[in-house]
Amino acid sequence: MHHPARSVFAAAALALLCPAPGPAATRGAAAEGALAPFLGAPVIDRQMVFSGKDRIREPYLAVALDGTIVVLRNYDSLARRSEDGGRTWSEPSPIPVAFLDSNFIVDEVTGDLLSLRLWDGRDRLWRSQNQGRTWSEQAIALMPNEVMKWMERTGLKRRGVWADKDAPGVFILHNNASEPGITLRHGPRRGRLIVTGTFRPLAKEHPSDRKPADGIYSCAVYSDDRGATWRVSGLFPESATEEAALVELSDGTLYFNSRCCDGFYNKALARPLGPDESRRREAWSRDGGETWEGLRVNPVLADGGGYDRGYGLKAGLTRLPVAGRDILIFSNTDTAGGPREKLTLWASFDGGRSWPVKRLVNPGHSAYSSLATGRPGTPGEGSVYLLFEGGPDGKYTAMHFVRLNLSWILQGERTGEGTVPEWVK
């Protein structure tokens, strides 16, 4: 059920002034190819890339322009690299990207990999110019959105750091458990870098049965100058949202898919979940991610794995690099608010308007996931990459990397929403 009062801050968010457009063209504009490499005989290959006793948490995933894959267990800042499409891997090595930093952003103009850090009082990013081998630190400027400026101007709230998250009089901005950022390839803002974030104006980290004023909001953070300056977008049009994902469609529209924490966290406050408390939230942007509109509770995509509390989960999202087509893949646990298990892939062929097919990947314990695709002309061309939490002993004892193709997903079950088009079959 929707709660209009929860959008009090979103309603106050005005469209930000349009910054100067990005470069006239990006290398990514030539990085879309044919559908055929994603089809053929069904393929799936699974490897354990991280393991341990506990804390194997928060999967981050990037595919550099040359096809190099970087996987990260974010809680412990350990990464591995593959230069052959995910068949073999380097040994784990430390990198500076850490808890609360953004997922990777691939700059398709320069080829750099980036990750934002906005939560500790010193805004900066980490940059790799060699496909994730080494990283350097760069100071950045962050431009707040209208809601943030209003809070500061009126004295209602000031921007704080993560350690202040439960303190009165502060708001927090961070990018924890985002999906990979992207470079826009179409329209007047092509070349823009953008990644999802979370704006916490009033809420504690894990409040239960939030009041309307206790919302947290998904948003986005974007740059038109290759990462030197970043602007905060307008807020997602519903609260109790965070840990989101976005992709650009072939017409330049951005599709935004967010976790929803609309259930309860405190077991002592247990209650039956409402019909919308275990479903993903969606919105769209037609101005390059500056504002978001068209809120929808997706009728098919489960916001699974809420420990039976409807508390949502970080999910994966990617668009296949197929010219003129909007084939999206989504990953999450298919338990509709239940236990964290049954990691499943869904496919859409109309830019997220319908999701007609899904297929189970891992029936046991599964939690956070991340998705990416192989790039045309690289060793991973035609592959979908999935990185997810879930170990043979349950809980958070491993991360698995799965390499598969669209044909494998197409052999799954029909959801009853939409149809698989003939051009895919």
Please tell me the distance from the alpha carbon of residue 321 to that of residue 372, in angstroms, as a whole number: 10
pTM of the model as a whole: 0.93
- The region of weakest confidence among 14-28, 64-78, 294-308, 411-425 is 14-28
What confidence tier does 212 reach under pLDDT thresholds 50, 70, 90? low
Name residues whose C-beta falls within 8 Å of residue 75's C-beta, 6 or more positions apart in sequence: 55, 56, 57, 58, 99
Residue whose pair of structure tokens reads 């499409």 in the numeric block: 85
Rg (CA), the chain: 20
**Which two three-digit tokens encode residue 310?**
């409807």
Please check the confidence at residue 197 and state whether its pLDDT lies above 90: yes
Neighbouring-strand partners of residue 139:
124
Would you list the DSSP string of 327-375?
A: -EEEEEESSTTS-SEEEEEEEESSTTS---EEEEEEEEE---EEEEEPP
Residue whose pair of structure tokens reads 């044919």 in the numeric block: 34
pLDDT at residue 31, rounded to an integer: 82
**Which two three-digit tokens encode residue 399?**
């991360």
Yes or no: say if 355 and 417 are a contact pair by the CB < 8 Å rule: yes
Q: pLDDT tens digit string along 75-128?
A: 999 999 999 999 999 999 999 999 999 999 999 999 999 999 999 999 999 999
Yes or no: say if 80 and 122 are a contact pair by the CB < 8 Å rule: no
Please check the confidence at residue 160 and state whether its pLDDT lies above 60: yes
Q: pLDDT tens digit string along 54-76?
A: 889 999 999 999 999 999 999 99
Yes or no: say if 112 and 129 are a contact pair by the CB < 8 Å rule: yes
Tell me which residue of 290, 292, 303 sits closest to 243, measured CA to CA. Answer: 303
Q: How far is CA 21 from CA 18, 26, 222, 248, in A?
A: 8, 12, 12, 16
Please check the confidence at residue 272 and state whether its pLDDT lies above 80: yes
Yes or no: say if 63 and 385 are a contact pair by the CB < 8 Å rule: yes
CB atoms within 10 A of CB 55: 12
Please check the confidence at residue 18 and state whether its pLDDT lies above 70: no
Domains present along the chain, CATH in parentheses: 41-414 (2.120.10.10)
| % of the chain with per-residue pLDDT over 70 | 89
Neighbouring-strand partners of residue 80:
71
Please tell me the distance from the alpha carbon of residue 179 to that of residue 258, in angstroms, as a whole number: 10
Q: Which helix (H) or strand (E) holds 174?
A: strand 170-174
Please check the confidence at residue 277 and state whether its pLDDT lies above 50: yes
